[in-house]
Amino acid sequence: MAPVVLVRADAGPRIGSGHLVRQLALADLLAARGAEVVVVTTGDDPRITAAGHRNLTVPEQADATGRPWPVAAQLADARATIERAGGAVDVVVVDHYGLDHVWEAEVRRIADRVVAVDDLAGRRREVDLLVDHNWYGAGSAGRYDGTVPDGCELLLGPRYALLHPAYAELRKESSPAAVPPRRLLVSFGGTDPAGETRTVLEALRGRPAFERVEVVVGSRAALAPGLEDLVADVPGAELHVALRSLAPSLQRADLAIGASGTATWERICLQVPAIVTTTAPHQSGVTRALAEAGLTTWAGLVGEVGVDGYRALLDRAAEGALPLPPPLVDGYGAARVAHAVLPTRPTGPDDGLRLRLAGPEDAPVAVARGDDPAGWVAAGNRFASDLVVPDVVVVVVEVDGVPSACLRVTRDGPDVDSINHIDILDKRAAGIMDDVLDRLVWPCSEGEPTRLAALVPGQGGR
């Protein structure tokens, strides 16, 4: 019988679409692992059924305000969720600013395993696994100290960015952004209540034209009056409404202007420099930290940047003065989380284990460790160097198709000091490393091209 995963998330004009979008990315990967995914919301959302998942609805709580909601509202929502579920499920995943340990303790009546996806920290949780793909600067790893139970597994940082699986594939095909940028993407997410898209378009009028300007609005409801006329006034501009995925437009871009949230990690994954305007104070921490580390450009809060502010930033972009995104996100974050939500049950010691030679697209596997930007830069430089040094080969360890570690191998064998830990994707993790090291050999002789054979029984290296 397929495991059942119940997801509780919401979307709407007030809270945006970010929670639901990232849960749909996770849901698709859980379904690929054989799960039946049921998404519980306070209103029907066609995106859920379009993705092939069941959508159950619960009543909106009248006093559901604040972060978190009052205890009575949380309990009412949890009990409505339990009633709609109609019985026990294997896992409950909650991604909601209004719900905390009160809701989580109540839903344990129907699930032995509860998972939270969070951004805020500071709330007590009653979960077995907590995921936060954000980075708030050095010390981010300690944000949940004292708020989760003993033994709760933490998956923290951009390595676990909850992006749609398409991003992992598109990243392999991405090329460096042109400088100066020729193609611009303007997108402020599923909603744009402050009308920031209009401000950017006004800043573009009368400027030297981009070859292409893609303006993406999340829904017809978010299409402000007069916006279509503004788009028509910008040479090379075209308007898209309610795209199924932003990924293809983002891949085509040399520069993106938009909101923070999950879009930050989407842009970094596809190596697109960005001008970021934060639409909510709770999202400013991540953008501020990235900007202070020299990893992105923070324009400011919505309503504060203005036409002149965007024009000044566009001038900087034309001069090639904006920072390039670091190699922190490879697009496999949601897959890593899916493995942790539903751990693999191997049929044998070699099940799911694969070794292959690394390519440039694998830099995040080596780089996205810890929370020190200087360490990321150093790791990225070393990784790039190792790919071209004749006497060094970098091997990627994959578990169930997910890149999990990079091993630096020389003629003398694996460089133990360079070995990154393998993610705890399943209960085999503790025994995998020794198995991997036993299989690495360097079949080299004088005059033969330097190469590595990464051998798994019945499978040669790439």
Q: Which residues constitute the domain of residue 300? A: 166-318
pLDDT at 151: 95
In a domain, 342, yes or no: no
In a domain, 460, yes or no: no
Contact (CB, 8 A) for 20 and 9: yes
pLDDT at 10: 94
How many structural domains comprise the chain? 3
Q: Is the pLDDT higher at 454 or at 303? A: 303
pTM of the model as a whole: 0.88
Residues 50 and 81 both lie in one domain: yes
Mark which of 299, 318, 337 sits at the end of a domain. Answer: 318
In a domain, 333, yes or no: no
pLDDT at 371: 80
Residues 256 and 233 both lie in one domain: yes
d(CA 53, CA 177): 36
137-191: per-residue pLDDT in tens? 988 889 999 999 999 999 999 999 999 999 999 998 888 899 999 999 999 987 7
Residues 198 and 173 both lie in one domain: yes
Through-space distance between the first and last CA atoms of the chain, rounded to whole angstroms? 36
Residues 102 and 16 both lie in one domain: yes
Torsion sign over Cα 170, 173, 179, 180: negative
Annotated binding site: 266
Identify the band that residue 107 occupies on the pLDDT scale cut at 50, 70 and 90. Answer: very high
382, pLDDT greater than 80:
yes
pLDDT at 206: 85
pLDDT at 368: 80
Least trusted range by pLDDT, from 154-163, 260-269, 366-375, 409-418:
409-418
Least trusted range by pLDDT, from 178-187, 224-233, 387-396, 411-420:
411-420
Q: What is the mean pLDDT of the chain?
A: 86
pLDDT at 411: 64
Identify the band that residue 457 occupies on the pLDDT scale cut at 50, 70 and 90. Answer: very low
Q: What is the mean pLDDT of residues 103-132?
A: 96
Instruction: List CB contacts of 446: < 8 A, sequence separation 6 or more.
Output: none
In a domain, 338, yes or no: no
Characterize the bridge pairing of strands 91-95 and 54-57.
unpaired
Annotated binding site for substrate: 266
Return the HEC string of 154-170: EEECHHHCCCCCHHHHH
Cβ of 102: how many Cβ atoms within 10 Å? Answer: 20
d(CA 344, CA 429): 11
pLDDT at 420: 44
Residue whose pair of structure tokens reads 């020299």 in the numeric block: 294
Residues 145 and 240 both lie in one domain: no
Q: Is the pLDDT higher at 453 or at 269? A: 269
404-436: per-residue pLDDT in tens? 878 787 766 656 555 444 443 333 444 555 565
Instruction: List CB contacts of 447: < 8 A, sequence separation 6 or more.
Output: none
96 tagged catalytic? no
Residues 271 and 405 both lie in one domain: no
Most confident of 109-118, 221-230, 348-357, 366-375: 109-118
Q: Is 203 exposed, middle or buried (0-12, 13-18, 19+ CB in 10 A)?
A: buried
Identify the band that residue 18 occupies on the pLDDT scale cut at 50, 70 and 90. Answer: confident
Q: Is the pLDDT higher at 449 or at 358? A: 358
Contact (CB, 8 A) for 418 and 408: yes
Q: What is the mean pLDDT of residues 323-332?
A: 92
Most confident of 197-206, 338-347, 377-386, 448-457: 197-206
Least trusted range by pLDDT, from 128-142, 185-199, 328-342, 430-444:
430-444
In a domain, 337, yes or no: no
CA distances from residue 354 to 115, 340, 345 in whole angstroms, order as listed: 28, 19, 16
Return the HEC string of the chain: CCCEEEEEECCECCCECHHHHHHHHHHHHHHHCCCEEEEEECCCCHHHHHCCCEEEECCCCCCCCCCCCCHHHHHHHHHHHHHHHCCCCCEEEEECCCCCHHHHHHHCCCCCEEEEECCCCCCCCCCCEEEECCCCCCCHHHCCCCCCCCCCEEEECHHHCCCCCHHHHHHHHCCCCCCCCCEEEEECCCCCCCCHHHHHHHHHCCCCCCCEEEEEECCHHHCCCCHHHHHHCCCCEEEEECCCCCHHHHHHCCEEEECCCHHHHHHHHCCCCEEEEECCHHHHHHHHHHHHCCCCEEEEECCCCHHHHHHHHHHHHHCCCCCCCCCCCCCCHHHHHHHHHCCCCCCCCCCCEEEEECCHHHHHHHHCCCCCHHHHHHHHHHHHHHCCCCCEEEEEEEECCEEEEEEEEECCEECHHHCCCCCCCCCCHHHHHHHHHHHEECCCCCCCCCCCEECECCECCC
In a domain, 29, yes or no: yes
Characterize the bridge pairing of strands 297-301 and 353-357.
unpaired
In a domain, 311, yes or no: yes
Residue whose pair of structure tokens reads 């959302």 in the numeric block: 45
Q: What is the mean pLDDT of residues 59-85?
A: 90
Residues 77 and 192 both lie in one domain: no
Identify the band that residue 65 occupies on the pLDDT scale cut at 50, 70 and 90. Answer: low
Contact (CB, 8 A) for 299 and 275: yes
pLDDT at 422: 42
Contact (CB, 8 A) for 160 and 188: no
Residues 147 and 115 both lie in one domain: yes
CATH number for position 32: 3.40.50.11190
